[in-house]
A and B are shown apart, each in its own frame.
Chain A
Amino acid sequence: MATATAPASAPPARSKETALNKAGDWARRAPLLPALIFVIAMTQLPFLATIVISFMNWNAYYPKERGFTGFDNYVAVFTDTNARSAVIVTIVLTVSVVLICLVLGLAIALLLDRKFRGRGVVRTLMITPFLIVPVAAALLWKHALYNPEYGLFNGVLKWLFGENAPQPDWISNNPLLAIIVAISWQWTPFMMLILLAGLQSRPLDVVEAARIDGASTWQIFTHMTLPHLRQYIELAGLLGAIYVVQNFDHVFTITSGGLGTANLPYFIYQTFYTAQDYGRASAAGVVVVIGTIIIATAALRTVFSLFREESR
């Protein structure tokens, strides 16, 4: 990033030309600067502040004890069972949602890649979950579907098996699973849309030729469709992971972080907003960022390769 604004290293031959070059460089940069400066100011400065606060003993309930404490907050984060559980929940939540969504999304994309009556309608039906405001969707799952007394799931069980039907308390029995299902419902359409776009960009004449050469449907899928889709799968997985890692709405709405479902965003929210422990919340925030950077560096490369091919 810093390199982008570094002055041009022009040879010191003719100073007039150098000045012109510089002016030209600045003319090129000028349109970029407002957006760049804005983003730096609004994302990097707060993060720097988070790093500073993470080394402080700062609880808003005890303002007089404010001061620097070195790595105490980090020690606290790594030894706190709640924090460790939040890390695990975040990983389990993100990995399972992304995998479920990718598998379902791919299967549904394959179904929708065929011409059939009402394909447009089915596609529209499929997109609907993604267009429900996440809080609203979480409320819908919690109260209208999962609720043990009047939710639709137990209602259907009663329809099917009569008065003695089992009436499980879906959220209390499997709190994390309940959240995973609700989030997957919203993100499967997203993955499906990207994978469907990938399927439709597939060169059909090659597939046709392979079929004539006697390749089976399965062979075509594993040897032609999947390799072609790889980049789209990676893109969908990466973008999905970026959003699911940060999920707050579903955890907040469905369980309020209870029953062992608090993920890192919720844990930090709670530490800073409810417990007012600014130092520890910041340390947890820094840990999240370091974890994200490690995962994202690998993932970013794949995205760049996709964009490079698209823009050829």
Chain B
Amino acid sequence: MSTTTRQDTGVAPGGEQRARSGAVTHAKPPRSGMLLSLLAWVVGLLFALPVFWMVLTSFHSEADAATNPPSVFAPLSLEGYRTFFGSDPWPALLNSLTASVLSTVLVLVLAFPAAYALSIRPVRKWTDVMFFFLSTKMLPVVAGILPLYLFAQKAHLLDNIWWLILLYTTMNLPIAVWMLRSFLAEVSVEMLEAAEVDGASLSRTLREIVAPVVMPGIASAALICFIFSWNELLLARVLTSTVAATSPVYLTGFVTSQGLFLAKVCAASLVVSLPVLAAGFAAQDKLVQGLSMGAVK
């Protein structure tokens, strides 16, 4: 289905193949290709439309944001952003940043050696260990949240960002182990052995043979761990209150029952989503690798 159109644009390598596809293209009029491209554009725009709407609404005044039918061309205003930043969101944003960055670092520090022990010099029954790591992802957070809450209460860790950091590390560690293992499995064992024979130090082996293969995996793992930690609501909602509340918790408290709030909610939602949007757009391919835990490269 895709091959004809793929070669319509003449990107097929090799003249012979292009000549061959020329004959095939006749089977399918170019107009249907145009229509499919148009459809792709329409679908893409439809999916992004709510986000565009959110951006536009966030730059309208509260009064203009709440009209029906909507006032698309109303004058732009920073009222929403002013209200949002005036409500002191910085502690929450900072908490989110701390929790996401530190838990991601912790995940990588723990996951890399583990992935090494599961691939390059694998322990016995390494598949069982991998299976165990994955099975913890199937264990719903709610199944353990009460003991985690009660323990925090006893240990005075409620409303403490460090407790959240440890839990986010737990949440993301299995994903990172799976990802890094799938990348480490591609490191050439012959080269490692050659390095050992030559008497290269461990740090040099890691730097020159392992790192080039694994760096993309580390980047993907970091991206996905950051996004999942930044997004997390349930644990943060239950385990924090005022001091350690993260941005998602802050967002849930941002809707007031009185007065108009649409513009400021859109502004707040957009600001809170910005780090994820920036990271995700910058590393689209890494996103796929990370989401599939390294199965799709």
A contact residues vs B (CB 8 Å cutoff): 1, 3-4, 8, 25, 28-32, 34-36, 38-39, 42-43, 45-47, 49-50, 53, 108, 110-119, 121-137, 139-141, 143-145, 147, 149-150, 152, 154-156, 158-159, 185, 188-190, 193-194, 196-199, 204, 207-208, 211-212, 217, 220-221, 225, 232, 235-236, 239, 242, 245-246, 248-249, 252-253, 264-265, 268-269, 272-273, 278, 281-282, 285-286, 288-289, 292-293, 296, 300, 303-304, 306-307, 310-311
Q: With an 8 A cutoff between CB atoms, is B29 at the interface? A: no
Closest CB of chain B to A252's CB: distance in Å? 7
With A32-B118, A136-B269 given, is the CB distance from A42 to B166 under 8 Å?
A: yes
B272 proximal to A (CB < 8 A): yes
Cα of A135 to Cα of B143 in the assembled complex, Å: 21
Residues of B within 8 A of A32 (CB): 113-114, 117-118, 123, 129
Q: Considering only CB atoms, which chain B residue lies closest to A148 in the complex?
A: B68
Q: Besides the contacts A127-B287, A131-B276, what 12 more A-B pairs have beta carbons closer than 8 Å?
A: A28-B122, A35-B113, A35-B173, A111-B40, A132-B273, A133-B248, A144-B53, A144-B265, A149-B68, A196-B288, A207-B3, A286-B143
B interface majority secondary structure = helix
In the complex the two chains form, what is the Cα distance from A110 to B269 in whole Å? Answer: 31
* CA of A307 to CA of B9, assembled, Å: 35
A29 to B126, CA, bound (A): 10
Given contacts A112-B40, A150-B68, contact A246 B141 (CB under 8 A): yes
Closest 6 CB pairs of A and B: A31-B113, A46-B144, A136-B269, A49-B147, A35-B114, A122-B44
B87 interface residue (CB < 8 Å to A): no
A296 touches B135 (CB 8 A): yes
- What residue of chain B has the Cβ atom nearest to residue A152's Cβ? B53
Contact A114 B70 (CB under 8 A): no
Q: Which residue of A lies closest to B270 (CB)?
A: A136
Contact partners of B147 in chain A: CB under 8 A: 45-47, 49-50, 53
A52 to chain B, nearest CB (A): 9
Let me know if B191 is at the binding interface, CB within 8 A. Answer: no
Q: Does B170 contact A (CB under 8 A)?
A: yes
A144 and B68 CA atoms in complex are apart in Å by 11
B23-67 interface code vs A (CB 8 A; 1 in, 0 out): 010001000010011011101110110110110010000000111
Q: Which of B3, B36, B230, B291 contacts A194 (CB 8 A)?
A: B291
Q: Which of B43, B170, B292 lies in contact with A111, CB distance below 8 A?
A: B43
A220 touches B140 (CB 8 A): no
Q: Is the CB of B137 within 8 A of A242?
A: yes
- Among the stretches B192-200, B210-218, B277-285, the one at the interface with A is B277-285
A50-B146, A194-B288, A307-B295 given; A135·B251 CB < 8 A:
yes
Known: A193-B288, A194-B291. A221 touches B1 (CB 8 A): yes
With most chain A CB atoms within 10 A of its CB, the pick from B124, B128, B237, B266 is B124
Beta-carbon contact of A235 and B3 below 8 Å: no
The listed residue with most A CB atoms (<10 A of its CB), out of B24, B33, B262, B268, is: B262
Q: Please indicate the chain A residues that have their CB under 8 angstroms from the CB of B155 in the complex.
A: none
